[in-house]
Amino acid sequence: MVQLDFYSTLVAASLVLLLGRWLVARIGFLRTYNIPEPVAGGLLVALLLLAFRGLTDIEVRFDPSLQTPLMLAFFATIGLNADFASLKKGGRIVAIFLLVVTALLVLQNAMGIALATALGLDPLMGLLAGSVTLSGGHGTGAAWGAVFSEQYGVASASELAIASATFGLVLGGLIGGPVARLLIKRVEVPGVGQPQPRLPKGFEQPNQERLITAFSFIETLALVAISLKAGTLLNSAIQGTAFELPTFVCVLFVGVVLRNGLSILGWHQVFEREVSVLGNVSCRCSWRLR
C-alpha cells in the first residue's frame, strides 16, 4: 500500500482538478451534459488507480485530513449566499416556484424509497438516489453519504451518492436541454434572442463590479471560519437530543443566520461572488480528497 502524505495529496487533488478541466474543455460530450470537472477528472483517475491496483496489487491511499473541513466550508458558503431579502423581492412567483420544487422533492424521495423497497434494498438508498443527489448534487450527496455510511451502516453510501448525482446530471442534460428549447420556442421569454448590452469591465468602471481583493477575501474567509466554529459548537450542543443533525447542516444553518443577521443589522454586505468562488474551490477539492 502507498500512503500519500498531506502535501502529496494536495498536489494530487490539484492535478486531478486540472485534468478534469482539460477533459471538459476538449470533450464535447462532457460539456453538453454539464459533467463537473472534478467528476470527469476524478472518474478517469479512479479507473486508472483501479487498473493499477489490479495489475500490481498495490493500493494508493490519500490523506483525508482536509476533506471534512473543505466540505463544511462548502456548506458554510451555501448558507452565506442564502439571502432572504432577495427571496422576498421575488414575491408571488418565488412562492409558487418554492411550492412546486417542494412537491418535486417529496416525489423524488417517495419514488426512490418505493423502488428501493421493491428491490429489497435499504430505503435510505432510495433517499440517496432521490432528492439528496438529484436536487442536492454531488456536494450534498457526498455529505449525506458519509452520514448514512457512518451512522446508519449503509454500505458504499458515498459511492452510490456520487453515482446517482452523476446520473442525474447526464439525464438532466438529455431531458432538460430539449425541454428548455421547446419552452423557449413556444413561450415568449423576454430578452431571449435579442442582442444584449455589453457590460463594462471592472477596472474601467469600478462602481459597476466589486473586485475580489486580499482584504475582501479575508473578510469572506472570516465569515466561513465563524460559520464552521459556531456550527460545530451547535452540533455538539444538540448531540443526543431530538434535534440532532449532521455537522454540515448546523454549519449551513449558522451561515444563513450570519448572512441575514448582518444584512438586517446593516453591519456587513456579504460578497456573494467571492463566497461562491470559495465554495466552489472547497467543494471541488473535497471531492478529490475522498
Q: Which tens digit of pLDDT belongs to each residue from 70-81? A: 888 988 999 898
Same domain? 157 vs 13: no
Q: Assign residue 194 a region: left if phi > 0, alpha if psi is -120 to 50, beta otherwise?
A: beta
Residues 173 and 35 in one domain: no
| Domain identity same for 144 and 45 | no
Q: Is residue 272 part of a domain?
A: yes
Co-location of 96 and 56 in the same domain: no
User: Do 69 and 95 fall within a single domain?
Assistant: yes
Same-domain pairing of 87 and 34: no
In a domain, 165, yes or no: yes
Domain assignment present for residue 202? The answer is: no
**pLDDT band at 209; cut points 50, 70, 90:** low
86 and 168 belong to one structural domain: yes
All cell numbers assigned to 289: 480528497
Q: Is 202's pLDDT higher than 50? A: no
- Domain boundary among the residues 63, 82, 104 is at 63
Identity at 269, one-letter amino acid code? Q
pLDDT tens across 112-128, in order? Answer: 999 999 999 889 999 89
pLDDT at 107: 94
Shared domain check, 165 and 89: yes
Angle at 257 between CA 256 and CA 260, to 5 degrees: 85
| CA nearest to 224, candidates 251, 260, 246, 262 | 251
Q: Which of 16-20, 193-197, 210-214 has the highest mean pLDDT?
A: 16-20
Looking at the 3D structure of the chain, how many domains does it have?
2
pLDDT of residue 68: 82
pLDDT for the residue numbered 204: 44
Q: Final residue of a domain: which of 11, 33, 63?
A: 63
Whether 198 maps to a domain, the answer reads no
Residue 195 belongs to a domain: no
Q: Do 78 and 215 share a structural domain?
A: yes
pLDDT of the residue at 203? 41
Query: Model confidence over 24-72: pLDDT tens digits?
Result: 899 887 887 677 787 788 888 888 988 988 899 888 888 878 888 888 8
Please tell me whether residues 55 and 175 are part of one structural domain.
Answer: no
Rounded Cα distance between 17 and 61, Å, is 17
What is residue 227's predicted lDDT score, i.e. its pLDDT? Answer: 94
Same domain, 89 and 20: no
Indicate if 127 and 230 belong to the same structural domain. yes
203 assigned to some structural domain: no
Question: Is 205 part of any domain?
Answer: no
Evaluate whether residue 193 is within a structural domain. no
User: Angle 137-152/67-80 helices, nearest 10 degrees?
Assistant: 130
Does 106 have pLDDT greater than 90?
Answer: yes
Enclosing domain of residue 36: 1-63
Last residue of a domain, one of 63, 80, 102: 63
Per-residue burial over 150-167, b = 16 or more CB atoms within 10 Å of its CB, e = otherwise = eeeebeebbebbbebbbe
